[in-house]
Amino acid sequence: MRKLMKNLVDYIFIFLYSVLMFFLWKICKYGSWRYWINWIIPVLFLILVCIIYKILNRNIESSRKSRRIKLYMFIIVTLIFGGMIIHTAIPYNGKLSWKIDEMLNHKRVRYVHRNVFDDGIEGLLEDLEKKFTLPDKLYVDNELLIRFDGDGEITKLEGMIYGKDEKGKVNSYLLSFKNKKLEVWLNKDAGFELDENRALDPMIKLLKKSKYKKEIDTWKKIYGDVDFGIIYYGLKEFFYSDGIKVLGSKKENDEVFKTLDQGGEVKANALSIFIPDKEVTPINFIIDPEIISSETRNAQLEEEVIEKSKGEDSWTLDNNTGTMYTFLKSNKNIGFRLVVTDAALGSRFYKLEKTSDGGKTWENINSNPFLDGTGVAEGIEFLNENFGFAGLQGGSGEHSEIYVTRDGGTNFEIINLPYEKVQNLPEKGKEYGLTIENYKYLKMPRMVGNKIYILATPDSFEEEGIEFYSEDEGKTWDVSK
């Protein structure tokens, strides 16, 4: 009887061990330790009772076969749940993986030098150096944000800095300071590419050279006891002069403002001070500005649009100038563009230009491709060097016209569709009480096989309409059935 009881206790022990391993897996997978501990404690107590019973009855031996079966059961349970627990330690597979990552890569740093007026950014680096060996040259990923009170005491800091260590590996430090704790997440050899435009050194120079504290004092008098902020971007592009303060000579300052006022661009390392949650124009301190004239900038933008257009299957619009580009699919050196020559009351006049060298030079082909028509270009597409279409839409978006050329753009003629052949309107149009006169917006033609299709719709947004087709390069048209 005692032997039977001991065997029963052994199997109960294995069952309780299985339950315990299951609970441990649940904790490793999903967390919630406080919830599961209420279940684990009773199980541990019962396991302890079983162990004590086994010790007290250790002289009672089970058969060899029984011992082997119980050993196999114990090993199987251990392997199954042990493997499941190990799996939760693999990144992103469970709560345990995050705890391991936190233990290995998460550190807390005592942040002592946290007055931005007195310590600048060097104070932060000094405190980090006590815990880590920082790279000699550091960079900022995206931006570095610092918030502080009127006395300069930092209340919040967020950002990531990174750099190469002595072995050439990139180490990154994700920083977060709030509630008087500086949290640092390490991600060694993070795969960052060192970006000289994001170097941290200019921020140190900007903090020392700029009189940002004077600006903060001025704001304090106006807005009282509020928090202030600093953002360092690294190299930043500027197109407007609002809020810019150049840390350089008067000549350099004048040149920056003149360039921006004339539509140019300025690139410079920038430090921005602002008041969070206030409608106050930030002040951007910049040093060593790269000045780009409006002519150079427009040329760069044009080159970008041209390269983009070469990769498109249809036309590309330059939103800055209103010019519309298209290149032949078979030869990217040959392209056409509609250039705005004049504009009035929302309507534009265009000329057609052609390039044979991939957009380096352009030749005027037609000064009046739309035959005195005005509006906004809907599209332009050439199927070959001679045969192409151009569309012109009205300002209301409820009508447009398609023009066709068969001599490379030298001459255009308007396409007239046989509306008189239309016998049935789309069902949706009937529901809204539309008539044939409402279908005056012509979508740009599309080629399918040897047929060209044009869809007439009530407006530029509608995709259901009356379809016309041509089998002779747009000379004659018929209604699709």
Mark whether 213 and 85 lie in a shared domain: no
Segment 348-365 mean pLDDT: 96
Rg of the chain over CA atoms, in angstroms?
37
User: How much is the pLDDT for 297?
Assistant: 86
**Of the candidates 234, 222, 224, which has an alpha carbon nearest to the alpha carbon of residue 272?**
234
Count of alpha carbons within 13 angstroms of residue 182, beta-carbon side: 20
- Element holding 9 (H helix, E strand): helix 2-30
Indicate yes or no: pTM above 0.75: no
pLDDT digits over 92-139, tens only?
888 888 777 777 778 888 898 999 999 999 999 999 999 888 999 999
Domain end (from 276, 292, 308): 292
Domain end (from 379, 412, 445): 412
Banded pLDDT at 89 (limits 50, 70, 90): confident
User: How much is the pLDDT for 69?
Assistant: 83
Q: Which residues contact 468 (CB under 8 A, 6 or more apart)?
A: 417, 418, 453, 454, 455, 456, 477, 478, 479, 480
Neighbours of 127 (CB within 10 A): 17
For residues 286 and 247, what is the distance between their CA atoms, to the nearest angstrom? Answer: 6
For residues 285 and 105, what is the distance between their CA atoms, to the nearest angstrom? Answer: 35
User: How much is the pLDDT for 107?
Assistant: 85
User: How much is the pLDDT for 190?
Assistant: 59
Residue type (1 letter), 454: I
Segment 417-440 mean pLDDT: 91
- Give the total number of structural domains in the chain: 4
User: How much is the pLDDT for 189?
Assistant: 54
For residues 340 and 472, what is the distance between their CA atoms, to the nearest angstrom? Answer: 31
User: How much is the pLDDT for 38?
Assistant: 87
Mark whether 125 and 258 lie in a shared domain: yes
User: How much is the pLDDT for 71?
Assistant: 84
**Of the candidates 198, 211, 297, which has an alpha carbon nearest to the alpha carbon of residue 246?**
211
User: How much is the pLDDT for 191?
Assistant: 65
The two tokens of residue 457 are: 């719709």
Contact 141, 162 (CB under 8 A): yes
Mark whether 275 and 397 lie in a shared domain: no
Query: Most confidently modeled of 12-21, 348-357, 389-398?
Result: 348-357
Contact 173, 161 (CB under 8 A): yes
440, with CB counted inside 10 A (0-12, 13-18, 19+), is middle
pLDDT digits over 131-186, tens only?
888 999 999 998 999 999 999 999 999 999 999 888 888 889 999 987 778 889 88
According to DSSP, the residues that pair with 153 across neighbouring strands are 115
pLDDT at 403 over 90: yes
Contact 338, 389 (CB under 8 A): no
Mark whether 406 and 419 lie in a shared domain: no
Mean pLDDT of the chain: 89
Segment 321-336 mean pLDDT: 94
The two tokens of residue 475 are: 């000379």
Query: Most confidently modeled of 118-132, 325-339, 340-354?
Result: 325-339
Tell me the CA distances in angstroms from 414 to 39, 254, 410, 419, one per residue in order. Answer: 82, 52, 14, 15
For residues 404 and 308, what is the distance between their CA atoms, to the nearest angstrom? Answer: 25
Q: Which residues contact 175 (CB under 8 A, 6 or more apart)?
A: 124, 157, 158, 159, 160, 161, 182, 183, 184
User: How much is the pLDDT for 250?
Assistant: 87
**Of the candidates 346, 326, 328, 330, which has an alpha carbon nearest to the alpha carbon of residue 338?**
326
Residue type (1 letter), 458: P
User: How much is the pLDDT for 344?
Assistant: 81
DSSP 8-state code for residue 199: B
Tell me the CA distances in angstroms from 239 to 242, 256, 321, one per residue in order. Answer: 9, 10, 16
Mark whether 94 and 144 lie in a shared domain: no
Tell me the CA distances in angstroms from 145 to 158, 228, 235, 270, one per residue in order. Answer: 5, 11, 15, 13
pLDDT digits over 56-69, tens only?
777 677 667 777 88
Contact 110, 127 (CB under 8 A): yes
Mark whether 372 and 315 lie in a shared domain: yes
Banded pLDDT at 444 (limits 50, 70, 90): very high
User: How much is the pLDDT for 185?
Assistant: 86
For residues 92 and 320, what is the distance between their CA atoms, to the nearest angstrom? Answer: 45
Q: Which residues contact 396 (CB under 8 A, 6 or more apart)?
A: none
User: How much is the pLDDT for 409?
Assistant: 96
Percent of the chain with pLDDT over 90: 54
For residues 229 and 159, what is the distance between their CA atoms, to the nearest angstrom? Answer: 13
Mark whether 405 and 448 lie in a shared domain: no
User: How much is the pLDDT for 379?
Assistant: 95
Q: What is the dihedral of CA 359, 364, 369, 375, to 10 degrees?
A: 70
For residues 276 and 219, what is the distance between their CA atoms, to the nearest angstrom? Answer: 12
Mark whether 164 and 287 lie in a shared domain: yes
Count of alpha carbons within 13 angstroms of residue 309, beta-carbon side: 30
In terms of residue numbers, what domain contains 54? 1-101
For strands 244-246 and 283-292, give the pairing: parallel
Domain end (from 78, 101, 124): 101
Segment 377-397 mean pLDDT: 92
User: How much is the pLDDT for 31?
Assistant: 85
For residues 101 and 90, what is the distance between their CA atoms, to the nearest angstrom? Answer: 10
Mark whether 363 and 237 lie in a shared domain: no
User: How much is the pLDDT for 267?
Assistant: 94
pLDDT digits over 215-241, tens only?
999 999 999 889 999 999 999 999 999
pLDDT at 274 over 90: yes
pLDDT at 377 over 90: yes
User: How much is the pLDDT for 1?
Assistant: 59
Mark whether 132 and 250 lie in a shared domain: yes
For residues 280 and 294, what is the distance between their CA atoms, to the nearest angstrom? Answer: 28
User: How much is the pLDDT for 251?
Assistant: 87
Segment 373-382 mean pLDDT: 93
According to DSSP, the residues that pair with 441 across neighbouring strands are 457
Banded pLDDT at 477 (limits 50, 70, 90): very high
pLDDT at 34 over 70: yes
User: How much is the pLDDT for 2?
Assistant: 64
Query: Most confidently modeled of 33-37, 78-82, 90-94, 352-356?
Result: 352-356
Mark whether 89 and 134 lie in a shared domain: no
User: How much is the pLDDT for 386?
Assistant: 96
Phi and psi (nearest 5°) for 67? -60, -40
Mark whether 154 and 287 lie in a shared domain: yes
Residue type (1 letter), 318: D
User: How much is the pLDDT for 188?
Assistant: 56
Banded pLDDT at 452 (limits 50, 70, 90): very high
